[in-house]
């Protein structure tokens, strides 16, 4: 088959072309997400040292809870709603207006809650400025309607705006952060980039999509809050054994140990990010497929399971085998204690990759939201229980073991649930 015929076959339908364009857009974004942090990470961990880097990581984990609150599960529920109704401009405007009003209200509530916590506890009060500077990431997160662009399957906007913000942040880090005492510039620059990207995104929504903003009714707000409730609870549960782990570790230990753990976890998150384009691209597509034909949707999911499972397993194996080299090259000799953490966490991309297919792509699109939520709640209970036992005894190593066991529980439980509903993902 010559190149011309291959291209014609590849782009023979608008749906397939849109999927490929979205995948390529998100792939470019994830490459940037992968490369840019790997440029700044070696520099930051060396300049700031484990203690200040740990403080920044702890503040981001703390603020992460407010990002989850303001997100309220809309990155999945609103994406699905926009995807299903994308041809109906009036309905899309209603969804957009309702979700944005809810998110802005939750942001104000978050700021009040954060202030109460900061000035009630000495641990937070002594570094209060770090937390307020980091809170700017919540503002940017609220302003940037990722869920809208995903639902409309226009991922190129997400790519361009995010890369613009990250490039500005990356360059600014090397300009302004020269010594450990410059640590305040890190949250300031992070937040500035997020807010700028968010404002530009809102401008693009109104300029390119011609949406009309109208104040939603109480009934609409109640409807969208209810629609996202189970996903929100699931996200909170996930946070208790993802971003929340750094927070728990910081409460029991000190900023230096948090620095060792966070640096290793950062590498794992970068590796997981390579799977992001696939997951984000196919979710609105699978939602539409399942809505039209369950059989066709499940057939597509089975193919994706093999793709994600195979790729993530190889990725995890590479991290495990070359953990020593990765830590010494990226983090430096100050972080030798991060090697064991990286080895323990190495297979998370594989475990979480499968969980994404079983949970988000399958359970949510089949409307098993309650079961999805319950599994993650149980996992968070398991993780917290293990963390409270293992962290005081083994510190960052104990936390790493707790995380892996919790993720294994999630993936296994989702698979068994689907089997019980006669949804054969692996053909078993």
Q: How confident is the model at residue 135 (pLDDT cuts 50, 70, 90)?
A: very high
* 395 assigned to some structural domain: yes
411/34: higher pLDDT: 411
* 8 assigned to some structural domain: no
Find the distance separating the first CA and the last CA of the chain, reported in whole Å: 35
Two structure tokens written together for 12: 């023979």
From 194, 209, 239, the end of a domain falls on 239
* 1 assigned to some structural domain: no
* 12 assigned to some structural domain: no
From 239, 261, 283, the end of a domain falls on 239
| Per-residue pLDDT at 309 exceeds 80 | yes
* 162 assigned to some structural domain: yes
| Per-residue pLDDT at 7 exceeds 80 | no
DSSP 314-343: HHHHHHHHTHHHHHHHHT-GGGTTHHHHHH
| Per-residue pLDDT at 70 exceeds 50 | yes
- Residue 339 neighbours by CB distance under 10 Å: 18
* 365 assigned to some structural domain: yes
Examine the domain organization and report whether 124 and 262 are in the same domain.
Answer: no
From 239, 267, 284, the end of a domain falls on 239
In whole angstroms, give the CA distance from residue 156 to residue 365.
Answer: 24
- pLDDT at position 30, please? 61
Q: Which residues are within 8 A (CB) of 175 and not within 5 positions of it... i.e. 6 or more apart?
A: none
Examine the domain organization and report whether 30 and 141 are in the same domain.
Answer: yes
3-class SS string, 222-239: HHHHHHHHHHHHHHHHHH
* Residues 379 and 409 sit within 8 Å (Cβ to Cβ): yes
Examine the domain organization and report whether 83 and 208 are in the same domain.
Answer: yes
* Residues 283 and 82 sit within 8 Å (Cβ to Cβ): no
* 102 assigned to some structural domain: yes
Examine the domain organization and report whether 119 and 264 are in the same domain.
Answer: no
Two structure tokens written together for 281: 């691209």
- pLDDT at position 184, please? 93
**Residue range(s) defining the domain that contains residue 184:** 18-239
pLDDT (mean) for 52-70: 88
Reported pTM: 0.68
Q: Which residues are within 8 A (CB) of 99 and not within 5 positions of it... i.e. 6 or more apart?
A: 74, 78, 145, 147, 224
Examine the domain organization and report whether 212 and 256 are in the same domain.
Answer: no
| Per-residue pLDDT at 4 exceeds 60 | no
Examine the domain organization and report whether 204 and 105 are in the same domain.
Answer: yes
- pLDDT at position 6, please? 41
227-238 exposure pattern, b = at least 16 Cβ within 10 A, e = fewer? bbbbbbbbbbbb
Examine the domain organization and report whether 173 and 318 are in the same domain.
Answer: no
| Per-residue pLDDT at 5 exceeds 70 | no
| Per-residue pLDDT at 33 exceeds 90 | no
Examine the domain organization and report whether 156 and 276 are in the same domain.
Answer: no
- pLDDT at position 19, please? 63
* 11 assigned to some structural domain: no
Two structure tokens written together for 124: 């937070």
Examine the domain organization and report whether 64 and 113 are in the same domain.
Answer: yes
**Can you tell me which residue has the tokens 């323990």?**
344
169/104: higher pLDDT: 104
User: How do residues 273-299 score in pLDDT, each as one tens digit?
Assistant: 777 667 767 777 777 777 777 777 778
| Per-residue pLDDT at 1 exceeds 60 | no
Q: What percent of the chain has pLDDT over 70?
A: 87
| Per-residue pLDDT at 172 exceeds 80 | yes
- Is the sign of the CA dihedral 380, 386, 389, 394 positive or negative? negative
Number of domains comprising the chain: 2
Examine the domain organization and report whether 232 and 336 are in the same domain.
Answer: no
Examine the domain organization and report whether 231 and 295 are in the same domain.
Answer: no
Q: Which residues are within 8 A (CB) of 183 and not within 5 positions of it... i.e. 6 or more apart?
A: 48, 52, 55, 56, 130, 177
Examine the domain organization and report whether 59 and 204 are in the same domain.
Answer: yes
């Amino acid at each position: 088959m010559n190149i011309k015929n291959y291209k014609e076959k590849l782009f023979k339908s608008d749906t397939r072309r849109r999927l490929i364009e979205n995948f390529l857009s998100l792939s470019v974004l994830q490459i940037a997400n992968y490369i840019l942090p790997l440029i700044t990470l070696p520099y930051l961990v060396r300049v700031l040292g484990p203690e200040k880097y740990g403080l920044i990581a702890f503040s981001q984990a703390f603020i992460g809870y407010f990002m989850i609150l303001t997100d309220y599960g809309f990155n999945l529920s609103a994406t699905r709603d926009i995807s299903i109704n994308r041809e109906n401009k009036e309905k899309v405007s209603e969804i957009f207006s309702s979700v944005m009003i809810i998110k802005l209200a939750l942001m104000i509530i978050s700021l009040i809650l954060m202030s109460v916590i900061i000035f009630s506890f000495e641990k937070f009060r002594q570094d209060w400025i770090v937390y307020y500077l980091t809170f700017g990431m919540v503002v940017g997160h609220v302003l940037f309607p990722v869920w809208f662009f995903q639902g409309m399957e226009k991922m190129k906007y997400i790519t361009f705006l995010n890369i613009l913000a990250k490039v500005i942040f990356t360059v600014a880090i090397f300009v302004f952060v020269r010594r450990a005492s410059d640590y305040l510039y890190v949250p300031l620059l992070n937040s500035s980039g997020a807010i700028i990207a968010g404002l530009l995104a809102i401008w693009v929504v109104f300029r390119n999509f011609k949406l009309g903003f109208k104040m939603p009714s109480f009934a609409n707000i109640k409807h969208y809050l209810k629609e996202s409730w189970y996903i929100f609870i699931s996200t909170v549960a996930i946070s208790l054994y993802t971003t929340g782990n750094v927070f728990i570790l910081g409460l029991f230990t000190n900023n230096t140990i948090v620095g060792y753990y966070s640096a290793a976890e950062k590498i794992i998150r970068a590796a997981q990010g390579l799977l992001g384009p696939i997951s984000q691209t196919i979710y609105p597509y699978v939602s539409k497929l399942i809505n039209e034909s369950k059989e066709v949707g499940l057939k597509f999911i089975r193919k994706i399971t093999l793709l994600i499972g195979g790729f993530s397993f190889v990725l995890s194996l590479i991290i495990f085998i070359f953990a020593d080299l990765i830590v010494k090259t990226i983090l430096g000799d100050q972080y030798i204690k991060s090697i064991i953490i990286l080895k323990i966490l190495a297979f998370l991309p594989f475990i979480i990759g499968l969980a994404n297919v079983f949970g988000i792509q399958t359970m949510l699109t089949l409307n098993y939201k309650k079961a999805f939520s319950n599994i993650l709640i149980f996992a968070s209970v398991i993780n917290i229980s293990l963390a409270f036992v293992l962290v005081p005894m083994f510190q960052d190593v104990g936390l790493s073991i707790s995380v892996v066991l919790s993720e294994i529980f999630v993936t296994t439980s989702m698979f068994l649930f689907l089997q019980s509903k006669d949804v054969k993902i692996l053909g078993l």
